[in-house]
Structure 1
Amino acid sequence: MLMAIRATELLFAWSLFIQTLEYLRMGKATANEGLWSWSLQRADIPNASARAWFDVLFKPRVHQLHLLLRLLAAVWLAAQGASLPLIGFLFVGNLLILIRWRGAFNGGSDFMTLVVLTGLLISQVVSVFANPQRGWQAGFWYIAIQAITSYFMSGSVKLLRREWRNGSAMTVFLNGAIYGPLSATHPLRNTWLAMLGSWGFIVWEILFPLSLLDPRLAAVFCTVAALFHFLVFWFFGLNRFFWAWLCAFPAIIWCSAQFSTQVLGL
């Protein structure tokens, strides 16, 4: 368990560090005269009292200070590990950032960041009332179930869509990628090859719950997932997507080891 804990802390700290640097680099865009000015976005908050509080919290200088503290908190997490005050600060701060960006800045990466952060919060809260081992067990299972379910649902949705079953969706997405559109001679212009790749992802995602049967199988599923997320980063530039999902892998592998030995008796 100690190895899984440390791997989760380090991966999450790195992921959070990258995200926070990106937010800091967007200082001009989020300033009062910027493209994503809070003076425009505040209209989404219907409650006047809440809007007044957010007006203070989302002032450019206050927001920048929060991001700097978040950066230091990520470094502290990597150096000293998780604690209830530290994770509590990061959790509340993450909710504020989600509100600042109307719920999500980068879709899937924001979702998994919140999932892992919630798992870390669960681990720390439960540790107060029980013990650290029970706390991390609860946190890891929360992260693993959320991640595995997400893969399964993603594959199921693809299976229901004809454009994914015939492979055309993959070509459409890659045409809109950083290096798109695909050249006329690109292998994925071949209908059968595109369909084979599409079905490969569909089957892999739908079968992801099988990763709980054995930690070695979980490692294989997570390795394929890492390759998939790296390809998403390579073709679409979603670097935070790659690191955010990697944070869930130690929990998946650890829960697989627990499930296969304690439940299946293998």
Structure 2
Amino acid sequence: MQATLSYAISGIVKLPSEGWRSGEALPGVLRTESYGDPTVYKLARKHPRLTKTVAHAVLVLECSFPIAFAAKGAFAPLMLACTGSFHLVNARVMGLGRFALAFPSMYPAILYAAQRQDARILQPGDRGIK
């Protein structure tokens, strides 16, 4: 639940931002001293359509993370591959290497929870899981 909320809420709070919708947020972050990369910043400024596409892809990826639990976890491996790749890129570009370890460390639990065949919702009066 924590990982799902982390991804989904991160995307949801970006949605109202004109900067994320226009694609300007990425170059803005990339030009900072803390999370920036001069080479990637220049590339982002040179290719604004690509930058906007990447920004939209981040929004879609984060907001749609809960679908990892749809269809008995059928989408979980794909979602985790995408988010894992996202964290590797962030590790290189933004220096967020700790995220490349912290988030994927939750992936086995996500796979387990998403792909459980015997999961059911407890009803009032149930005494527990058999």
TM-score after normalising by structure 1: 0.41
Q: 2:103 aligns with which of 240, 245, 248?
A: 245
Structure-2 residue corresponding to 1:166: 22
- Partners of 1:245 and 1:173 lie apart in 2 by 21
Alignment of 1:110-129 (within 5 A): none
Map residues 1-266 of structure 1 onto 2, 5 A cutoff.
145-176=1-32, 177-180=35-38, 182-183=41-42, 186=43, 188-189=44-45, 190-213=47-70, 214-258=72-116, 262-263=119-120
Structure 1 Cα separation of the partners of residues 118 and 79 of structure 2? 19
Q: Name the amino acid aligned to 1:201.
A: V
The alpha-carbon deviation at position 179 of structure 1 amounts to 2.9
Deviation per residue, 1:223-264 (Å, 9 max, x gap):
111111111110122221210111110111110011x6534x
Deviation at 1:180, TM superposition (A): 1.6
Q: How far apart in 1 are the matches of 2:65 and 2:55? A: 16
Structure 1 regions of 5+ residues with no counterpart? Answer: 1-144
RMSD: 1.9
Pick closer, same or farther for the CA change 1:215–1:200 going to 2, 3 Å. Answer: same
Asked whether the 8 Å contact 2:29–2:36 carries over to 1, the reply is no
For the residues of structure 1 that align with 2:79 and 2:98, how far apart are their CA atoms?
20
Change (3 A) 1:178 1:203: closer
* Secondary structure of 1:262 counterpart: coil
State how far apart, in whole Å, the 2-side matches of 1:203 and 1:154 are: 11
SS in 2 for 1:203: helix
Q: Unaligned 5+ residue runs, structure 2? A: 121-130
Question: RCO higher in 1 or 2 (8 Å CA, sep ≥ 6)?
Answer: 2
Could you tell me how far 1:215 is from its partner in structure 2? Answer: 2.8
Counterpart secondary structure, 2:103: helix
How far residue 191 of structure 1 moved from its aligned partner, in angstroms, is 2.4
Please tell me whether the aligned partners of residues 23 and 55 of structure 2 are also in contact (alpha carbons under 8 angstroms).
Answer: yes
Aligned-residue offset at 1:175: 2.0
When Rg is computed on C-alpha atoms for both structures, the one with the higher figure is 1
Q: How many correspondences in the alignment?
A: 116
Offset of residue 178 of structure 1:
4.9
**Distance in 2 (alpha carbons) for counterparts of 1:255 and 1:262:** 8
Query: What's the % identity of the aligned pairs?
Result: 27
Work out the CA distance in 1 between the residues paired with 2:20 and 2:9.
14
